[in-house]
Amino acid sequence: MKTPKYLVPNDFMADPSAHVFNGKLFIYPSHDWESGIEENDNGDHFDMKDYHVFSMEDVENGVAVDHGIILDVKGIPWSGRQLWDSDVAFKNGKYYLYFSLKDKNDVFHIGVAVSDKPEGPFIPQPDPMRGSYSIDPSVLDDGDGNFYMYFGGLWGGQLQRYRNNKALECAIFPADNAPAIPSRVVRLSDDMLQFAEEPREVIILGEDGEPITAGDKYRFFEASWMHKYNGKYYFSYSTGDTHFLCYAVGDNPYGPFTFQGVILTPVVGWTTHHSIVEYKGKWYLFHHDSVPSGGKTWLRSMKVIELEYDENGKIKTIEGGGE
Catalytic residue set: 15, 222
Binding residue (CB under 6 A) for ligand FUB from 7, 8, 13, 14: 14
222 is a contact residue toward ligand FUB (CB under 6 A): yes
Q: Smallest distance, Å, CB 99 to ligand FUB?
A: 10
Pick between residue 180 and residue 223 the one whose CB is nearest to ligand FUB. 223
Pick between residue 169 and residue 293 the one whose CB is nearest to ligand FUB. 293
Residues 275, 40, 151, 92: is their CA dihedral positive or negative? negative
Q: Smallest distance, Å, CB 251 to ligand FUB?
A: 26
183 is a contact residue toward ligand FUB (CB under 6 A): no
How would you class 33 by CB atoms within 10 Å of its CB: exposed for 0-12, middle for 13-18, buried for 19 or more? middle
Pick between residue 136 and residue 201 the one whose CB is nearest to ligand FUB. 136
Q: Smallest distance, Å, CB 48 to ligand FUB?
A: 7
Looking at the DSSP bridge assignments, the partners of residue 103 are none
| Footprint (CB under 6 A) of ligand FUB, residues 241-260 | none
Is residue 97 within 8 A of residue 28, CB to CB? The reply is yes
Q: Smallest distance, Å, CB 83 to ligand FUB?
A: 9
Number of residues counted as binding ligand FUB (CB under 6 A): 14
Binding residue (CB under 6 A) for ligand FUB from 26, 46, 237, 257: 46
Binding mask 86-115 for ligand FUB (x = CB under 6 A): --------------x---------------
271 is a contact residue toward ligand FUB (CB under 6 A): yes
**Cα separation, 36 vs 20, whole angstroms:** 35
Binding residue (CB under 6 A) for ligand FUB from 84, 98, 122, 218: 84
Q: Smallest distance, Å, CB 160 to ligand FUB?
A: 15
Binding residue (CB under 6 A) for ligand FUB from 12, 15, 182, 286: 15
| Footprint (CB under 6 A) of ligand FUB, residues 115-144 | 135-136
Binding residue (CB under 6 A) for ligand FUB from 16, 19, 25, 30: 30
Binding residue (CB under 6 A) for ligand FUB from 129, 223, 246, 249: 223
Q: Smallest distance, Å, CB 261 to ligand FUB?
A: 20
Cα Rg of the chain (Å, integer): 18
Binding residue (CB under 6 A) for ligand FUB from 152, 153, 182, 253: 153
Q: Which residues bind ligand FUB (CB under 6 A)?
A: 14-15, 30, 46, 84-85, 100, 135-136, 153, 222-223, 271, 273
